[in-house]
């Protein structure tokens, strides 16, 4: 069996930075708290928890005093910084610079657009940590659209500034922007109300689409490795599946099924921006084991 691990798969720089910061902090300490899963991959979370990382939720943060807490790459709303200050918590801020820049841009846009009676619309997953951090920049006023059929909550007669969560599908975002533009023209005509579309999808995600598509096409079968909670994992898996029908998703080597490799001698392994290379290597070892045995 010829097995290739996609050389471009693996952690993005935002995740690498957060994990490096956690490992550095854990070198001189027994424990470090992390607000939410440091990465949407339970295998990697387990590895770091064995080194002393303690994953907490926002409820626990409210009652935590005087500890050190790492904020992961997704970023946090201003409320989290306020609670940390009140509780004497030292923050290790591993917010990805791309997310930080987007938060700042949304905050500035909100200051301007609210004076004009306008709206900030964010294309993203409701309740996702990054989206919560973005909505927090507008004091909770941003409208979050997860699916195209939810756009009726937007007021098309008022100015709109549109952003996307960094890990959404670029094609779906463009589709949403176009639908909003058409609806605004239908309601207020051509000379009315401004729509500002910001390109806020991370290059680490948007550039992956083409690469992953090509990778999926060049192999007889694809094993896609990703945590269940990863947004870009779901999106990239769909792209692989559309390019190669024999694409299978696993979260760990245990999910690999020998039946997938019947009558083929070539398989590609790829993953999300939150998938560690060591995990893809373990999946590769498992495929070797199963195909030698069968
Ligand atoms: S996907 Fe992009 S924005 Fe998100 S953590 Fe990685 S580098 Fe940062």
pLDDT by 10-residue block (mean), the chain, 294 residues: 95 94 93 95 93 97 96 97 98 98 98 97 95 98 96 95 94 95 87 89 88 96 93 90 97 96 96 93 96 76
Q: Is 23 a catalytic residue?
A: no
- Comparing CA positions, the residue from 105, 141, 133, 127 lying closest to residue 231 is 127
Backbone angles phi and psi of 6, in degrees to 5: -55, 115
Looking at the structure, tell me whether residues 196 and 252 fall in a common domain.
no
Looking at the structure, tell me whether residues 81 and 104 fall in a common domain.
no
CA–CA distance, 23 with 167 (Å, rounded to integer): 25
- Comparing CA positions, the residue from 146, 99, 140 lying closest to residue 120 is 140
Looking at the structure, tell me whether residues 89 and 113 fall in a common domain.
no
Looking at the structure, tell me whether residues 140 and 184 fall in a common domain.
yes
CB neighbour list of residue 7: distance below 8 Å, 6 or more residues apart? none
Sheet-wide strand order for 68-71: 53-56, 32-35, 68-71, 90-93
Looking at the structure, tell me whether residues 253 and 192 fall in a common domain.
no
Looking at the structure, tell me whether residues 106 and 78 fall in a common domain.
no
Counted domains in the chain: 3
Pocket test for ligand 1, best of 10, 11, 15 (most atoms within 8 A of CB): 15
Each residue of 264-291: pLDDT tens digit? 999 999 999 889 999 999 999 999 999 9
Give residue 215's domain range. Answer: 2-9+205-293
Looking at the structure, tell me whether residues 271 and 215 fall in a common domain.
yes
Residue 126's CB is within 10 A of a number of other CB atoms, namely: 13
Ligand 1 contact via 206 beta carbon (within 6 Å): no
Looking at the structure, tell me whether residues 196 and 223 fall in a common domain.
no
Please check whether residue 241 is in contact with residue 247, taking contact to mean a CB–CB distance below 8 angstroms: yes
Q: Using alpha carbons, list the distances in angstroms from residue 271 to 5, 41, 95.
A: 9, 11, 22
- Give the ligand 1 atom nearest the CA of 202: 2
Each residue of 208-266: pLDDT tens digit? 888 999 999 999 999 999 998 888 899 899 999 999 999 999 999 999 999 999 999 99
Going by alpha carbons, the residue nearest to atom 5 of ligand 1 is 14
Q: What pTM did the predictor assign?
A: 0.88
Ligand 1 contact via 15 beta carbon (within 6 Å): yes
CB neighbour list of residue 166: distance below 8 Å, 6 or more residues apart? 96, 98, 99, 102, 130, 200, 201, 202, 205
Among all chains, which residue has been given the structure tokens 């909003």?
Answer: 180
Looking at the structure, tell me whether residues 181 and 229 fall in a common domain.
no
């Amino acid at each position: 069996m010829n097995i290739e691990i996609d050389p471009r798969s693996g952690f993005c720089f935002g995740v690498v930075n957060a994990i490096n910061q956690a490992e550095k902090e854990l070198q001189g300490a027994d424990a470090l708290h992390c607000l939410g899963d440091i990465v949407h991959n339970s295998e990697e979370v387990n590895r770091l928890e064995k080194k002393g990382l303690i994953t907490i939720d926002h409820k626990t943060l409210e009652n935590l005093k005087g500890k050190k807490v790492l904020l992961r790459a997704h970023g946090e709303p201003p409320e989290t910084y306020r609670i940390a200050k009140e509780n004497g918590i030292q923050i290790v801020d591993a917010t990805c610079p791309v997310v930080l820049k987007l938060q700042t841009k949304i905050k500035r846009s909100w200051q301007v657009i609210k004076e004009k009676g306008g709206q900030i619309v964010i294309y993203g997953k409701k309740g996702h940590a990054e989206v919560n951090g973005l909505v927090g920049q507008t004091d909770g006023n941003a409208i979050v659209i997860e699916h195209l059929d939810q756009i009726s909550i937007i007021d098309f007669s008022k100015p709109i500034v549109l952003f996307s969560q960094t890990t959404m599908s670029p094609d779906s975002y463009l589709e949403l922007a176009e639908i909003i533009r058409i609806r605004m023209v239908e309601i207020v005509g051509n000379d009315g109300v401004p729509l500002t579309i910001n390109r806020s999808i991370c290059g680490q995600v948007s550039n992956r689409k083409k690469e992953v598509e090509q990778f999926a096409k060049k192999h007889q079968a694809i094993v896609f490795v990703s945590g269940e909670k990863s947004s870009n994992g779901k999106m990239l898996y769909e792209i692989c599946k559309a390019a190669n029908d024999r694409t299978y998703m696993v979260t760990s080597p245990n999910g690999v099924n020998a039946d997938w490799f019947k009558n083929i001698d070539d398989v590609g392994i790829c993953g999300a921006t939150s998938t560690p290379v060591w995990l893809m290597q373990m999946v590769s070892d498992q495929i070797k084991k199963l195909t030698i045995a069968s």
